[in-house]
Amino acid sequence: MNKNADPGLSEVVSVALILTVLIITIAMTALIALPVMGTNADRVHNGDVLLEFCQMKADMDTVWLSNSTNITRQAVFTLSPAADRTEITVFPNLLSAASFGTVSLSYGIPHGEYAEVILTYTSSNMYAEDIEIIYDGGALFQNDRILLPGSVSGSGRYVVVVNTAEVAERSIGGAGVATLEYRLENIVSSGSDHLCVFRMELQ
Amino acid sequence: MIHKRDSGLSMAVGFVMILMIIAMIIGMWAVIGVPEQIRDAEEYHAIGVTNAFLDYKIAVDNQRLNGWVGSNISMLIPAASAYADGALFMKEDVGMLRVYIGGTENSTYNISRLYATFGTTNTLVGYEGGGVFRNDYGYAAWVTPPSITMETAGDDLYVTLIVPEMQGSFAVGSSEGIPVDTGLLSVPTQVLPPTNQTVVVTFTADDPWDASVWNTFFYEKAILYQNMGVNIMSDKPSINTTSLTIYPSVVGYIYLNVINPEYIVDVRRY
């Protein structure tokens, strides 16, 4: 038997090896996995909020197409990936809390006492590229590129407007959700255009 | 006697076993967990696409109901999911609806189909003949069926059949949603003269699954209106053809109206 043998050496080496593996795993997670997962979460949310705006446009089109006046409906916009998660997870959602967004309601082209409504979503993503979605009087734009045009009939348009005396401009930011309540009041003619007058509230 | 003792052996074996357990957990997650997550996501996505087609049906129905002739609407069909690209197709003449009165062909209507596929393309979701269907692995079911309504008034029977005709032809693949424009061209209504003869509506499809799903529609309507006292029956004479036969009462007449709205459908290219 070697008198210089240290019976505790193997334990020390083993603990050092395990610690090394743990440190490498944590470092790789922080440097590679979290940015990849964060980018993916942001991009998925970019797509989801675009679908939420498309759904809102479809629902609003349905309201004026069916002339369903005085029925209040809601559209919900998720402002960040943190508000977007539906699956159950055992891990805290640390990476998605870094991104947030803003939804605003503002006036567009005026039509007398009415103004075309502009709903804008602007993201502030931590990892992925930012996105801007604009709903302008019935048309939907993604990063200044038209995605879904408004409805037309011959030379006339169907324009979604609000009464500026009744509907306030508003902006909501954060990482939660924003809710748009809207109700068709009536449809009036303005030249060749049809103004679909909505009452809206962003909250 | 020489004793070769290695006090570090058990630690080394333990360390290797821990690594094996970690590798096994990662392997099981990759082999079982990831496919399960993707399958769940695809299922959730298929429901989203189905809801988009239901919105589409509601929108085009509203165009017709409110007489918005000349108007167009644009909607996004979210064909692609987070995991797979999607494709949207518009096909005309996938089937033919024929109306026979007293055994003589009276009128014919082309049936078109707007549908989306995604992922493994084993699922089709689409709009056809005024209804929304979902086809999984060649077996289809209506999410909401086309429309045929009947009302009795004394001995007479009033039948209204709605057959939308969608014009357009395209096949578009995308890794995002696909915007679709739909314009209402006209809403012609064909009012057939009252008849005391048998009225037969047949549907002949290119695909057997399509005939099967229309047969389901005819069968369900036959059961519904038999319970309301109408003399009606459905049949499936071949794998590509199904029929609905409506008999007048002994002294009554059948009043048949066919509403045949015409739409033009196109995909937006941007």
Residue B18 inside a domain? The answer is: no
* Structural domain contains residue B23: no
Residue B143 inside a domain? The answer is: yes
Lowest mean pLDDT among A20-29, A90-99, B160-169, B211-220: A90-99
Q: Is residue B10 part of a domain?
A: no
The mean pLDDT of B182-189, rounded to a whole number, is 93
Please report the pLDDT score of residue A44 as a whole number: 85
pLDDT tens per residue across span A132-161: 999 999 999 998 888 899 998 878 889 999
pTM of the model: 0.83
Total domains in chain B come to: 1
Q: What are phi and psi of A141, to 5 degrees?
A: -120, 145
Predicted confidence (pLDDT) at residue B54 exceeds the cutoff of 90: yes
pLDDT exceeds cutoff 80 at A181 = yes
B19 in a domain, yes or no? no
> Is residue B6 situated within a structural domain?
no
pLDDT number for residue B197: 93
Residue A158 forms contact with B (CB below 8 Å):
yes
Question: A161 pairs with which residues across the strands?
Answer: A116, A197
Q: CA-to-CA distance for A148 and B74, rounded, in angstroms? A: 6
User: Between the CA of residue B132 and those of A178, A200, A203, B214, what are the distances in Å?
Assistant: 31, 31, 34, 12
* pLDDT band at residue B66 under the 50/70/90 scheme: confident
Task: Kindly state the average pLDDT of the residues B133-154.
Answer: 93
Is there a domain that residue B1 lies in? no
Backbone φ/ψ region at A166: left (φ over 0), alpha (ψ -120 to 50), beta: alpha
Q: How far apart are the first and last CA of chain B?
A: 86
Sheet holding B262-267, edge to edge: B72-77, B178-186, B262-267, B165-167
Contact A11 B78 (CB under 8 A): no
3-state helix, strand, coil in chain A (%, to 5): 30, 40, 25
Nearest CA in chain A to B180: A148
Tokens read off for B14: 């333990």
Give the nearest partner residue to B59 out of A17, A65, A147, using CB atoms: A65
| Alpha-carbon gap, residue A184 to A162, rounded angstroms | 9
Q: Which domain holds residue B65?
A: 35-267
In a domain, B21, yes or no: no
Which of A148, A160, A193 best probes binding to B when mutated, by most B CB atoms within 10 angstroms?
Answer: A148
- Mean pLDDT (chain A, rounded): 86
ipTM at complex level: 0.74
Residues of B whose CB is below 8 A from A150 = 74
